[in-house]
Chain A
């Protein structure tokens, strides 16, 4: 069953088109993982996260700067190349300026029926963010109701919360297996699993996760896991990179990135106020560096993950020109190293030089392992 996620990842556009034909529902492109998907699911829509394809492209130059992060350019290129023509709408919850301009460019050049910008605060730590963001989430709900021409009821919202939470919980249960001495799934497989939850129908995705959970206790990989690694970064879904790392003596056992654990780590906690539960979930989730000030809660979270999953080293995957991460990384690197986790920093583009990356990864593994050579 684990193979299903890769199949979904590879055929993600075909899946969305078929979903639309099958259900007659609306497909909404989500920009950034801060979009409150509970409400989209409550409205019986399919949220599809807009991600890139890791191919060279030459279509975004007239629209956004070359010094915008590769993920922005790769994502916009997919739209300009017509790969997301099935989208009925697009939504951005504010995170960084690069992606906001990418979203605006998308709205100008790729008009859709419904487009919405959620001005989510970046200072999520202030108490004012709670009431403010709840209000914004309510406005988003109202806009969606107007678009679909019917109310999104409390019952709908409860279902949305339940469906999202189920998927999050199952993903965490699968991640638990990565704590084992010999994890029954590779980092590459886990990446496909986490990233597909961002664009496959959540119920369908959860059903497969449940089947996988039955399979994992008996699953043995025909490989020595080698050095246990953590991947730290942003939207890093470069499968070829993970494959390479796991072919030279390492296994990625945990990640802290928005293509992975940051997306699903916490749940919406219903407490009588549904909209507050949804809004707070996004304020309280493991933050993107752009939403992690004035205090830095992220560093402690990264270290806890590294310890829980017994990572022997961390690969810091810096998306080129991603300023929020670039601001965090020098201190994060120092922090991890002071706490006994060696790091390797690599700069990622939409396409990456696997050969040069390979020698760095191999040498990194040798510095961790290596005693048998002396």
Chain B
């Protein structure tokens, strides 16, 4: 019998900088983002990204947090005890056992986006596993206003995974494949997942207003089918960044941890 392919599965990975000699670092700060679908850990050494991991969230938040940080620290020689301050964020933010403080993912995504795409970013859209947030921020990445989708998680990351399985298309291909049609398909009912996404998100952004510059974070930002349609709907191009959009929350959390260390925490 052929092995069943898991179309929904996206690549879990970890990375660390071959250049940074962390033992010489003065400030070692970490951010842990335990989301509803994925978890990330990110370590900063003197404000520079040293290591991170991106994994699927497991059945409980404390385990997911441990797995994420162990993934980030793998082969670096660094241990948990070397980290001086940790900020937890995301859906499981209060269940990160080794965190010194919890900060909302709304604040963390804005701060992360500020680092990833620059201080001119004013609107951030975080498209995550089970919800979606439209955020306004200032030149420091401090949130000035935000809006979240309320009751329905249709069209978010988990919905995309379900669709990938249903259509038997690997999740990483689904966005590009969505353009291999002669014309846009009829909208599915407004409560349904994939194609409802861009409509719903643009409505959300419409309510808060889009201010230039605009940046997208979260896993769904990796789906060009959603991103391009959203840009078309809004009439604005999203700023591109060299960083993985999925680490924005953990990066923001780590940046807060780093600031708190500098302030003597």
A residues adjacent to B (C-beta < 8 A): 342, 347, 356, 359-360, 362-363, 366-367, 370, 372-374
A374 CA / B262 CA spacing, docked (Å): 10
Contact B256 A367 (CB under 8 A): no
Q: In this assembly, does B99 line the interface, its C-beta being within 8 Å of a C-beta of chain A?
A: no
- In the assembled complex, how far is the CB of residue A68 from the closest CB belonging to chain B, in whole angstroms? 18
Contact B259 A367 (CB under 8 A): no
Residue of A nearest to B131 (CB): A356
Contact with A along B130-165 (1 / 0, CB 8 A): 000000000011111110101000000000000000
A363 CA / B260 CA spacing, docked (Å): 18
6 pairs of residues in contact across A and B, judged by CB atoms under 8 Å: A359-B105, A360-B148, A373-B107, A373-B111, A374-B141, A374-B259
Contact A367 B148 (CB under 8 A): no
Residue of A nearest to B136 (CB): A367
Contact B146 A374 (CB under 8 A): no
Q: Which of B105, B142, B146, B148 contacts A370 (CB 8 A)?
A: B142
Q: Which 9 A-B pairs have the closest CB atoms?
A: A363-B106, A363-B104, A367-B143, A366-B107, A362-B104, A374-B140, A373-B256, A359-B104, A374-B142
Q: Which of B104, B150, B260, B263 contacts A366 (CB 8 A)?
A: B104
What size tier do the contact residues of chain B reach?
Answer: 10 to 19
Q: Which of B106, B141, B142, B144 contacts A359 (CB 8 A)?
A: B106
- In the assembled complex, how far is the CB of residue A325 from the closest CB belonging to chain B, in whole angstroms? 17
- In the assembled complex, how far is the CB of residue A366 from the closest CB belonging to chain B, in whole angstroms? 5
Which residues of chain A are near B140, meaning CB under 8 Å?
374
Contact A370 B107 (CB under 8 A): yes
Q: Which of A347, A367, A374 contacts B144 (CB 8 A)?
A: A367
A216 CA / B150 CA spacing, docked (Å): 39
Contact B256 A363 (CB under 8 A): no
Which residues of chain A are near B104, meaning CB under 8 Å?
359, 362-363, 366
Q: In this assembly, does B37 line the interface, its C-beta being within 8 Å of a C-beta of chain A?
A: no
Contact B106 A373 (CB under 8 A): no
User: Known contacts being A347-B150, A373-B259, A373-B260, is A367 close to B145, with CB within 8 Å?
Assistant: yes
A316 CA / B146 CA spacing, docked (Å): 15
B residues adjacent to A (C-beta < 8 A): 103-107, 111, 140-146, 148, 150, 256, 259-260, 263
Which residues of chain A are near B105, meaning CB under 8 Å?
359
- In the assembled complex, how far is the CB of residue A49 from the closest CB belonging to chain B, in whole angstroms? 29
A360 CA / B131 CA spacing, docked (Å): 12
User: Known contacts being A347-B150, A360-B148, A367-B144, is A372 close to B263, with CB within 8 Å?
Assistant: yes
- In the assembled complex, how far is the CB of residue A335 from the closest CB belonging to chain B, in whole angstroms? 16
A366 CA / B3 CA spacing, docked (Å): 48
Which residues of chain B are near A366, meaning CB under 8 Å?
103-104, 106-107, 143
A374 CA / B141 CA spacing, docked (Å): 9
A366 CA / B111 CA spacing, docked (Å): 12
- In the assembled complex, how far is the CB of residue B127 from the closest CB belonging to chain A, in whole angstroms? 16
Which residues of chain B are near A374, meaning CB under 8 Å?
140-142, 259
Residue of B nearest to A353 (CB): B151
A359 CA / B143 CA spacing, docked (Å): 14
A342 CA / B260 CA spacing, docked (Å): 26
A370 CA / B144 CA spacing, docked (Å): 10
Contact A367 B150 (CB under 8 A): no
Contacts A363-B106, A373-B260 given; 4 further ones with Cβ under 8 A? A367-B144, A370-B107, A374-B142, A374-B259
- In the assembled complex, how far is the CB of residue A348 from the closest CB belonging to chain B, in whole angstroms? 11
A347 CA / B148 CA spacing, docked (Å): 12
- In the assembled complex, how far is the CB of residue B145 from the closest CB belonging to chain A, in whole angstroms? 7
